Amino acid sequence: MCINNIKKKDRIRELIQNNNNLFKCPICSGTMIMNDFGSLTCNLKHNFDLSKKGYLNLLVSGKAPVYSKKLFEARHRVCKTGFYAPLLNKLAQILDEYKKSRDNKKIKILDTGCGEGSHIYSISQRAKENQGNIYVGVDISKDSISIAARNNAHIIWCVADLTRLPFQNKSFDVALNILSPANYGEFDRILNDSGIVIKVVPGSSYLKELREIIYIDKDIPDYSNSKVIDYFKQKLDIKDIQNINYKFDVSEELLPYFIKMTPLTWGKSIEKLNNVYKKNISSITVDLTLIIGIKKR
């Protein structure tokens, strides 16, 4: 086990060394270099060690993550079933088309709020034009990044604050923002002039089967993503909007993981959660809106 960890750490260290120009110090904003001992260091000697699992902890704000480790473990299990496969296929296709528009030059892709890393990992495996691309996943939760770093992917994983990303200006081509909060000021800063933001937000029917049971004793809260889209329009020029809708078959064994992975169940009584099991849900609706934006001209 130890040998595997050492090999992985060395591989990720080399990947970071080959992309030193991505990073800026989260303390002083100075340039950073990964040395041969696995430490990312700036000119003022602020030092961040690459963990044995192969990720960097660049969080200095002390902010507490919103989601629990149990939620990320459950989400990881659900993602492995292919629950988001149609979305991920579409995202991989968009990235392939974008790369072709850049004369097939390698592109640098940042997944902002990557959670336990399943999305960017799956995209990196799907993209036909993947060779040479640089993939980076960042999340404020150390627990989630620790889960993400379990695989042997050629991906740089970082614990960091979305409001102060530890990356140089204009260092990325693509910012992914999948079912996660956004920070458009930081996206504008870290994207180059021809860069794109790809944001995915829930539609009104997303996980409706769970919501119908959880709110069985009162009206289901209406949800519309129109405000999110309107705000996106204020910050970026919209290049495309696509809707992704499908049903996913759910086994009795998998249902508990769906319940644990969503904040919908937070603060709900045991009785209400038991109602979900009793209903024997056979399928769950996936309703998502995918928005592609470019910098304001």
pLDDT tens per residue, range 184-213: 999 999 999 999 999 999 999 999 888 877
Report the pLDDT value the prediction gives residue 116, as an integer from 0 to 100: 96
Please state, rounded to an integer, the average pLDDT across all residues of the chain: 89
Q: Is 30 annotated as a binding residue?
A: no
The arrangement of strands across the sheet holding 134-139 comes to 55-57, 155-159, 134-139, 108-112, 172-178, 191-202, 283-295, 236-249
- The pTM assigned to this predicted structure is 0.92
Q: Are residues 58 and 26 in contact, defined by beta-carbon separation less than 8 angstroms?
A: yes
Q: Identify the band that residue 270 occupies on the pLDDT scale cut at 50, 70 and 90.
A: very low
Q: Report which of 173, 148, 190 is spatially closest to residue 95, judged by C-alpha positions.
A: 173
Q: Is 129 annotated as a binding residue?
A: no
Give the residues across from 157 on adjacent strands: 55, 137
Q: Are residues 161 and 59 in contact, defined by beta-carbon separation less than 8 angstroms?
A: yes
Asked if the model's pLDDT at residue 143 lies above 60, the reply is yes
pLDDT tens per residue, range 229-265: 999 999 999 999 999 999 999 988 888 888 888 766 5
Quote the CATH superfamily of domain 2-295: Vaccinia Virus protein VP39 (3.40.50.150)
Tokens of 250: 């759910």
User: Under 8 Å CB-to-CB from 228, ≥6 apart: which residues?
Assistant: 201
Q: Is 128 exposed, middle or buried (0-12, 13-18, 19+ CB in 10 A)?
A: exposed
pLDDT tens per residue, range 82-117: 999 999 999 999 999 999 999 989 999 999 999 999
**Domain limits, the chain:** 2-295
Report the pLDDT value the prediction gives residue 2, as an integer from 0 to 100: 46
Q: Identify the band that residue 273 occupies on the pLDDT scale cut at 50, 70 and 90.
A: low
Question: How many other C-beta atoms can be found within 10 angstroms of the C-beta atom of residue 144?
Answer: 27
Q: Is 206 annotated as a binding residue?
A: yes
Q: Is 46 annotated as a binding residue?
A: yes
Tokens of 271: 């009785």
Q: Is 28 annotated as a binding residue?
A: yes
Q: Is 116 annotated as a binding residue?
A: yes
Q: Report which of 75, 63, 64, 65 is spatially closest to residue 264, judged by C-alpha positions.
A: 75
Q: Are residues 133 and 111 in contact, defined by beta-carbon separation less than 8 angstroms?
A: no
Q: Is 79 annotated as a binding residue?
A: no
Q: Identify the band that residue 1 occupies on the pLDDT scale cut at 50, 70 and 90.
A: very low
Q: Is 117 annotated as a binding residue?
A: yes
Give dist(CA 37, CA 10) in Å, integer: 9
